[in-house]
Amino acid sequence: MHLQTWADISLIFFGGLFSIIAVSLLGVMAFALTKLVTLLDTITNKMDPVIVKATDTIETVQRVTANVGEKADQILTRGEVLTDTVSSRVETTAGVVQKAVTGPLINLSSLIMGVSKGVEVYTRSNSNGKNHK
């Protein structure tokens, strides 16, 4: 045999060997991908109930949060109304007290001042009258 024939045979042999190795590697990768898809399906099936429960929980939390927000708004509104009512009543009471107490106190103060002035004038007039006699 010729040297070129041996080179051709070697080239064909190694080309075939590398082709078989490449096809084998592709087969192993296809098998691994099939196993990976099966594993991902299993994980997905196990995660579906968890996702459903998480979704239900999130919906419940949203409802509760909305209810709490509504209740907080109602409480704030009632607090504001109560504050306005108490403030109005305090102002009314202050006005009533001012009219009921301040007016008579001014009158009493005026009376006391008048009586004091009268006593002072009387005392002076008695003193001046005794001094002239």
Q: Which two tokens mark 69? A: 């927000």
Residue 121 lies inside a defined structural domain of this protein? no
Residue 124 lies inside a defined structural domain of this protein? no
pTM across the whole model: 0.43
Number of compact structural domains in the chain: 1
- The one-letter code for the residue type at 76 is L
Residue 80 lies inside a defined structural domain of this protein? yes
Residue 47 lies inside a defined structural domain of this protein? yes
| Section 17-22 average pLDDT | 94
Residue 46 lies inside a defined structural domain of this protein? yes
Residue 114 lies inside a defined structural domain of this protein? no
Percent of the chain with pLDDT over 70: 93
- The one-letter code for the residue type at 113 is M
Residue 130 lies inside a defined structural domain of this protein? no
Domain containing 83 equals 15-101
Q: What is the pLDDT of residues 88-107, one digit of tens each?
A: 888 888 888 777 777 787 88
Residue 106 lies inside a defined structural domain of this protein? no
Residue 113 φ/ψ region, left for φ over 0, alpha for ψ in the -120 to 50 degree band, beta for the rest: alpha
